[in-house]
Amino acid sequence: MGTEQVAAGATEPETVALIPVLDDNYVFVLVRGRRAAVVDPAVAPPVRDWLLQRGLELEAILHTHHHSDHIGGTPDLLRTWPGAAVIAAAADRARIPFQTRGVRHGERIRVLGRPLEVIGVPGHTAHHIAFHRPPQDGSAGGDLFCGDTLFAGGCGRLFEGTPAQMHDSLRRLAALPEATRVWCAHEYTATNLAWAHATAPADAAITARLEAVRAARAAGEPTIPSCIGLEKATNLFVRAADADALAALRLSRNGWRS
């Protein structure tokens, strides 16, 4: 099971597929030719089956942070593809001990032969990172794999970071081109937007997006990817003026019940 979208502008076609796992997680697979990279494999079996059914060779596993529902499948995937690189935050080596390459904010690496930018986005965890694949050949889009920092219509809980850190992290992501596709790791969109609509009931953009999301979910479709422009228009956390405003929204969201 998975949904694939082609990344425009690449000389060799590239796709990003999402594989639903657990209750609401997504694992993302980048594919170029017969090569693949996996982002945040919560569990291994459905990911391994997806790759093997397509005859793909796993070259890299990317981790945005250390939580078990983002790294749990990696040891098992490495049994099938022992040569795959494991890329994660260097500062989190103790909590992601199987990484083969530690990276830091601002680094530019190559995965599947294409550049990938590492963006530090602390807040949800202390050493959370995101991966940004810039567009190629002048195309408008790009891809952002942001783990649990930016959600469609929301943001991650502050387990280890501060509102100021999360606000800075969201500002950093919001500065990416508006056409950048946002691949966040959970299907929380309908609940996030229901809360946003209850918080800002007169906001027409939020209302319209909530209706579209509910229709998609009723049809069994994922609401991911989003895009940076849509989040800037309808995500109250991205729109927060400062850290205090974000903290107030986070408190409201934590106490809200649908």
Place of tokens 């250390």: 66
Q: Does the annotation count 69 as an active-site position?
A: yes
Q: Does the annotation count 65 as an active-site position?
A: yes
Surface-to-core class of residue 241, CB atoms within 10 Å of its CB (0-12 exposed, 13-18 middle, 19+ buried): exposed
Average pLDDT, the chain: 93
User: Is 80 exceeded by the pLDDT of residue 49?
Assistant: yes
Q: Does the annotation count 105 as an active-site position?
A: no
Catalytic-role residue among 124, 128, 132, 197: 124
Average pLDDT over residues 17-24: 95
Average pLDDT over residues 156-173: 97
* pLDDT, tens only, 1-11: 455 554 444 45
Q: What are phi and psi of 177, to 5 degrees?
A: -55, 145
Catalytic-role residue among 63, 65, 167, 197: 65
* pLDDT, tens only, 182-230: 999 999 999 999 999 999 999 999 999 999 999 999 999 999 999 999 9
Which band of pLDDT confidence, cut at 50, 70 and 90, is reported for residue 14? Answer: confident
Average pLDDT over residues 152-170: 96
Catalytic-role residue among 70, 127, 132, 197: 70
Q: What is the pLDDT of residue 137?
A: 66
Catalytic-role residue among 40, 63, 66, 69: 69
Domain count, the chain: 1
Pair 34, 57: CB distance under 8 Å: yes
Q: What are phi and psi of 249, to 5 degrees?
A: -65, -40
What's the CATH number where 243 sits? 3.60.15.10
Q: Does the annotation count 124 as an active-site position?
A: yes
**Residue 217 structural domain:** 3-255
User: Is 50 exceeded by the pLDDT of residue 78?
Assistant: yes
**Of 5-19, 55-69, 93-107, 108-122, which gets the smallest average pLDDT?**
5-19
Catalytic-role residue among 40, 63, 66, 67: 67
Catalytic-role residue among 63, 128, 167, 186: 186
* pLDDT, tens only, 109-122: 999 999 999 999 99
Average pLDDT over residues 81-97: 96
